Amino acid sequence: MAIQRSEFTARYANFVVHDNTVYLSGVIPENFDGSITEQCEEVFIAIDSLLGKAGSDKSKILSMQCFISSFEDFDQFNQAYDNWVDVENLPARATMQATLFDPRVKIEIVLVAAI
Amino acid sequence: MAIQRSEFTARYANFVVHDNTVYLSGVIPENFDGSITEQCEEVFIAIDSLLGKAGSDKSKILSMQCFISSFEDFDQFNQAYDNWVDVENLPARATMQATLFDPRVKIEIVLVAAI
Amino acid sequence: MAIQRSEFTARYANFVVHDNTVYLSGVIPENFDGSITEQCEEVFIAIDSLLGKAGSDKSKILSMQCFISSFEDFDQFNQAYDNWVDVENLPARATMQATLFDPRVKIEIVLVAAI
């Protein structure tokens, strides 16, 4: 089956579609100086946008890996997540702490969704 | 193809099935105070149970990402893994060190299996 | 659909194929003492070899998770990546910092590709 790739950035595709499944690149906020809540909200808006362009949406998320820069932010991350996630269609999820691209970046999400 | 989701916890599905593939949420032990060996054994029992509910089993694991809180535990992790894994059907595997949900949690596994 | 597994190492398959998709084990360099550039080059050569054995190639990569031991190496990692990646078929990508198997290992890549 053909592979569909999103418009490229310099270095990677924002998403790649294959066999009814879309793979997103790691999504980070645009504004690195936002609070954890603001960064999460930005990331979730970006995910919704990317999934829409791929022909999917948040009700079809299969699996999310959430990397947060500190578990001290875990409650606020969860609150933003709870405000966003489709409670009728909860994804599989894992959350790990990791040092991210820029010391100010507090959240990066990698996910796979159905089309 | 329809997406099947496991019974929900408050926040995520323990597993999601799509197109003959099951995606598990990150599996951690229930008893955070166990030794690395005990924590691994608990995680592998939980994985077997989740895969069974999804209509899969450990002989059908495609890919595992294992996050351990310290590579000092790597040998004991591998020993527990060796005691559990189906040697006729070894999965793809990667192991990284990461700070996990609770400082006492020594192991979290994210995996994808065939149905 | 049948699952195909690569020749085994002691503990995991180098890759597993299912439903037109190949899952690679985490790929690290063989020479732990190489520079970040050398380690990346070794990893990309190994990926090309594994994808070839699986009946795929780098133009069919869907998603890559790149774990680097320090973001201080990020520019050199990107340079090696840019020299290798198929610019007509860019994959989804995420890069996180993680402590890896051996303190000398600077790069580990986990990826999924189409067949």
Q: What is the pLDDT of residues C48-98, one digit of tens each?
A: 999 999 999 999 999 999 999 999 999 999 999 999 999 999 999 999 999
Instruction: Look up the ipTM and state it.
Output: 0.94
Tens of pLDDT, residues B58-104 = 999 999 999 999 999 999 999 999 999 999 999 999 999 999 999 99
Query: What are the chain C neighbours of B74 within 8 Å (beta carbons)?
Result: 101
Q: Which positions in chain C touch A98 (Cβ < 8 Å)?
A: 96-98
Q: Among C1, C16, C19, select the one facing B63 at the smallest CB separation.
A: C16
Cβ-Cβ contacts under 8 Å between A and C: the total is: 73
Provide the domain count of chain A: 1
Q: Is there a contact between B93 and C23 if contact means CB atoms under 8 Å apart?
A: no
User: pLDDT tens digits for A19-28?
Assistant: 999 999 999 9
| CB spacing of A93 vs B12 below 8 angstroms | yes
Domain range enclosing A60: 4-114
Position A10 scores a pLDDT of: 75
CATH of the domain at A22: 3.30.1330.40
Answering whether pTM is above 0.90, one says yes
- Long-range (24+ apart) CB contacts under 8 A made by B51-56 are B51/B22, B51/B24, B51/B113, B53/B6, B53/B14, B53/B15, B54/B6, B54/B15, B54/B17, B54/B22, B54/B113, B54/B115, B55/B17, B55/B22, B55/B115, B56/B22, B56/B113, B56/B114, B56/B115
- Give DSSP secondary structure letters for B39-55: HHHHHHHHHHHHHHHHT
Closest CA to A21 of C51, C92, C34, C43: C92
Touching partners of A (3+ C-beta pairs < 8 Å) = B, C
Please indicate if any CB of chain A lies within 8 Å of the CB of B1.
yes
